[in-house]
Structure 1
Amino acid sequence: MSLPYREWNSYTLFFSAEYSQAYLKKCYRKLNIDQPDLKSFENCYPFMYYLEHGKLYYDQAEKSPLAIQPIMLFYGLVHLIKACILTVAPDYPETTSVLAHGVSTRKRKKQQYSFTEDEVKFQKNGLFSLMSEKMFHMKQLEGEKATMGEILDLIPEMSGIILELKGKQIFQPVAKIEAKYSLPKSVLDQFHMTENRFKEFYQAKSAIPISFLPEDPQRIYFEANLSEVAEPIPLKYNLEDQHYSFPLNKGELYLFPELLLHYLLLYNLGMIARYETEWWSELIKMMPNEDYPLIQTFLHSTVKKGPYLIYQYLMNK
């Protein structure tokens, strides 16, 4: 990406029908979609309106009290995601089934409820499955579940608060020296792997080619073009600290794009804010446990990170 990211100012170029139409036409031609000229003409205004509407929700979320912030942020992200889907599925929405959220939550326990232990279940139809398939080429997620704790452990901006609250290191920052990157060899203990096994593991999981440099007593050095893709999985970009980090929790969601993780968290928080008013209000007013600082930290982060992830996706197409 040639221009540095400047938050919402970076989106300004999309608020031109001429530019957006040319952008969509380029996307459709790359995918060999029929009638790219006609499709891009038809979709340039819906594309712009999705982005504009999303921005309005995020703007309002920043000004809103915490009690309704998750609702604003969820619908803001939904509109930005719909703009992304238009770049790969010009006929969206083809059916009403894709308009559902695509995930569901279990009935909430009234006693001893813990947000980190709460879970969401992936559905066959809806925005989550459509986004997973069309944007990230992931299939057969139906029936899978994820807990909020598992998801929070894969958000790099959560690493500081989780270390303070739980004493658990969830990410290892990646050091950069010129064109080289490195990790301390202490990551080998986290993964219970030898150095060679870890290198094989990283190369097998990486979304981009990784080449390792000669061995060093203290660190594992590698070269990679991290700007090749929107997200060089498994690495995640810590927007607050401005560096890449390596996730240390090798669970089921390890290779999930971060955009999906933000969607799942905001979906559940939005449902809680709307339908679990008593628990939600008590959490905000009484702050009884670790749930409050974790949720507040995530909401503070996702206000900036959601639009960043969307922009990275759009510009790396």
Structure 2
Amino acid sequence: MLHGYRGLESFSFFFSAEYAQTFLQKRYEKLGCPSPEQRSYENCYPFLYYLEHGNVYYTQAARAPIILQPILLFYGLVHLAKACILTEDPFYPETTAVLAHGVSSRKRKKQQFQFFQDEVKFQKNGLFPHLSDKLFHMKQDEGDKTSMEALLRMIPELETLFWQLEGQTNFMPLPEKDGGCFVSQKALDFYHMTESRFREYFLAQSGISLEEMKNGMARLSETPNPYIPGQQTFLKFDYYQKRFVMPLKKSHRSQFPELMAHYLLLYNLSMIARYETEWWGEAVKMMPNRDYPFIQSFLKITQEKSPFLIFCHLTAGLK
């Protein structure tokens, strides 16, 4: 699945009302939904149109100038995310409360505003908390905040840029050998833990156990997956390098889903592109600081990575 993904083309098998209805019915039966056949018929075309519209937004974003990309990519992700929600919530949208974005940003930016320091605040209702709950079984605290820098550090494909511009790294790769993944003994130094304590921590953070260290490496008991229903993990999949990585530091957001990080970054960038046109125009044309290379790189990454993460959710459990 990881190596067979072919971008937006991989969604093509969903574009059959007959298949989509059967697909949703099986999902609803697993959820214990009453009248799964009826619900799947009612949700079949909304599911198809969410995927189709999302596909169109991403396709247009790839052709658009960078000043428009955040808006197109955000709404592309919103539509794909709604298709995912329909696989977990047969009655979506049950109320108008779930239709809002579910997150807010500072409308007027301060002087000398820098994107890295900007923040978004989580709201009680809306797509963001609903998506977090239905896809990842995680509750977000109303009023909680996170910075753009913290979110960018959750994107493993930005690792090279962080090293080049900041002299810092955020992740440790998990080497692959003989069909398995391994963790280097160096992780014990980064986490300041004994081997036994680290093995406990790794299991709690990933749901995967570690074998004992041999020759400076510990083998994972199973191969990680970018998305496992109902399981939270601190492991991330580097889409460019085609390998899994783990964060170098402990954090209360270590298990924060990467898809949600893409959502929050695109939300804020789309708001800036729409309402902070002077700052956005200068950032794109003048490139005054580190904001631009990180924003440009992220927009390129998310065009490919966020549909991939959606695809991993939709195909989880499929044979």
TM range (shorter): over 0.9
- Higher deviation after alignment, 254-263 or 176-185: 176-185
2:316 corresponds in structure 1 to 316
Match of 1:100 in 2: 100
Q: Distance in 1 between matches of 2:164 and 2:107?
A: 30
Is the aligned partner of 1:222 residue 2:213?
A: no
1:213 maps to 2:211: yes
1:35 and 1:225 map into 2 onto residues whose CA distance is 36
Pairwise mapping of residues 216-255 of structure 1 onto structure 2 (< 5 A)?
216-227=214-225, 229=228, 233-255=233-255
Q: Secondary structure at the match of 2:124?
A: coil
The aligned counterpart of 2:307 is 307
Q: Which residue of structure 2 lines up, in the alignment, with residue 154 of structure 1?
A: 154
Distance 1:162 1:71, change over 3 A: same
* 1:113 CA displacement: 1.2
**Within the alignment, does 1:166 sit opposite 2:166 as a pair?**
yes
The alignment partner of 1:237 has SS state of strand
Change (3 A) 1:218 1:310: same
Count of residue pairs brought into register by the alignment? 315
1:22 aligns with 2:22: yes
The answer to which of 214-223 and 300-309 deviates more is 214-223
Deviation beyond 3 Å, 4+ runs, structure 1: 107-110
- Structure 1 counterpart of 2:302, one-letter code: T
1:166-185 to structure 2, matched below 5 A, reads 166-185=166-185
Q: Deviations over 1:188-222 (max 9, x none)?
A: 2222222222111111111x332x22322422322
- State the match for 2:186 in structure 1: 186
Q: Distance in 1 between matches of 2:78 and 2:67?
A: 19
**Whole-Å separation in 1 of the counterparts to 2:208 and 2:254:** 18
- Structure 1 contact 226–232 (Cα < 8 Å) conserved: no
> Which runs of 5 or more structure 2 residues have no equivalent in the other structure?
none
Aligned to 1:125: 125
**More deviation, 127-136/222-231:** 222-231
Please state whether the residue corresponding to 2:139 is helix, strand or coil.
coil
Instruction: Find the aligned partners of 1:144 and 1:43 in 2 and give their Cα distance.
Output: 33
Question: Any idea what the Cα deviations from partners look like across 1:143-164, whole Å, max 9, x if unmatched?
Answer: 1111011111111111110111
- Identity rate, percent: 51
Q: Write the distance in 1 (CA, Å) between the matches of 2:282 and 2:135.
A: 38
Q: What one-letter code is carried by the residue in structure 2 that aligns with 1:229?
A: I
What per-residue deviation string (whole Å, max 9, x for no partner) do you get for residues 89-140 of structure 1? 1111111111100000124433221111111110000000111111111124
Q: Name which of structure 1's ranges 16-25 and 229-238 shifts more when overlaid on structure 2.
A: 229-238
What is the 5 A alignment of 1:41-56? 41-56=41-56
SS at match of 1:223: coil
Distance in 2 between residues matched to 1:177 and 1:27, nearest whole Å? 35
Distance in 2, matches of 1:192 and 1:116, equals 28
CA distance in 2, matches of 1:129, 1:261: 13
How high is the TM-score relative to the length of structure 1? 0.95
In the alignment, structure 1 segments of 5+ residues that lack a partner are none
In structure 2, the CA distance between the partners of 1:225 and 1:186, relative to structure 1 (3 Å rule), is closer
Answer yes or no: is 1:109 the counterpart of 2:120.
Answer: no
SS state at 2:33 partner: coil
Q: Distance in 2 between matches of 1:45 and 1:64?
A: 28
Greater shift in the superposed pair: 133-142 or 227-236: 227-236
| Partner residue, 1:83 | 83
Amino acid at match of 2:96: T
1:259-278 residue CA offsets vs partner (Å, 9 max, x unmatched) = 11100000000000000000
Do structure 1's residue 7 and structure 2's residue 18 form an aligned pair?
no
Partner of 1:62: 62
Q: Is the 8 A contact 1:54 1:80 kept in 2?
A: yes
Check conservation: 1:123, 1:129, Cα contact below 8 A.
Answer: yes
Work out the CA distance in 2 between the residues paired with 1:260 and 1:213: 31
Task: Name the CA shift for 1:176/1:278 in 2 (closer, same or farther; >3 Å).
Answer: same
CA offsets, 1:13-71, max 9 Å, x none?
10000100000000000000000000001111110000000000000000000001000
- Alpha carbons 1:70, 1:270 under 8 Å: kept: yes
SS of the residue corresponding to residue 240 of structure 2 reads: coil
Residue 289 (1) aligns with residue 289 (2): yes
